[in-house]
Amino acid sequence: MPKNDNMLAILWMLNSGVKVTAQQLAEKLEVNIRTVYRYIDGLCASGVPIISDTGHNGGYSLLNNYIRAPLLFDIEEKKALLHAAIFAKEAGYPLNEALDNATSKLKMYSNEEQGSILSRHLAGFEVINSRGSSSVHPVLVKLEQSIANQFSVEIDYRTNREEQSKNRLIEPYGMVYWNNKWYTVAFCHLRNETRSFRVDRILQINQTQIIFNRPKDFSPREFFMQNLLPDLVGKDGLISLIIGGRSEALDDLCLHWFLGHYLEERTSNQAIFLLDERSIHAYVPYILLSYGKTIQVTEPQSLKEKLVAVTSELIEYYQL
């Protein structure tokens, strides 16, 4: 392990608040005890207030009033970072190797008691997520680098309505992870507007040397959600969608990624949403069908008729 990493490891171990002997440090780092002495001297010369106690219960420790550096995490901070890393890995985080190295260091630079606590908390914490194609990973890496350095990229992109891909020059403003898929929000020179692109539909990507300027205070998340959900603020002709049914089903509907944004009122036996007629007929029937008989549409009547029509089409389709 490089010298700097060893010296940082010593700081981590001393930060636990437990006295550590030079022999224990040497065994942990797998170095000669004289090397440990040199590391301790180097840290002291850098201004780290290390206390050395001699005798039977002696060892090294940090001064109680020492203000810890931001990189020295307590046990709760370590636990939170390791839990967050599990979420990131399941989402297909592009810098996965660096993430593994970071979590390994967090575990390595913990004393025995901290390691035991972390192991117990990690043992019962898991995230289940649908894994995307491995071909997405290199695209994510290039996008992340291009976003950070503000370099435009050329992509071959195929939409769900096109058989052939199109070459586009885009300025990637950010990445969004939503509904088990990665997206990039970017200005598209082909369409001359800001759009969102599904990363798994990018067949090829090449970074250019063309530098762009990201719009000030631009939020990829806000742009993505605004394009995903109809903006009904101040819109005329909105209709009350009234649904009754089992409490558990209504709870689930109120948390739905689409309907939840338009919830107006929730009582013990019904939920009321406020939507435009087009959205009610275009999206809502396909959301409600999966709930079967656990819910009942009260209003509008036109949605009941649409549900009957959609169900009839499905029956006809499967009877062929």
Q: How confident is the model over 74-113, as pLDDT tens digits?
A: 788 888 999 999 989 888 888 888 899 888 888 877 777 7
What is the structure's pLDDT at 198? 94
What is the structure's pLDDT at 169? 97
From the number of C-beta atoms within 10 Å of its C-beta (0-12, 13-18, 19+), residue 197 rates as buried
What is the structure's pLDDT at 107? 80
What is the structure's pLDDT at 163? 81
Residue numbers in the chain where pLDDT is lower than 50: 69
What is the structure's pLDDT at 139? 94
CA gap 230, 276 in Å, rounded: 9
CA distances from 47 to 3, 34, 41, 43, 51 (A): 17, 20, 10, 7, 12
pTM of the model: 0.68
What is the structure's pLDDT at 153? 97
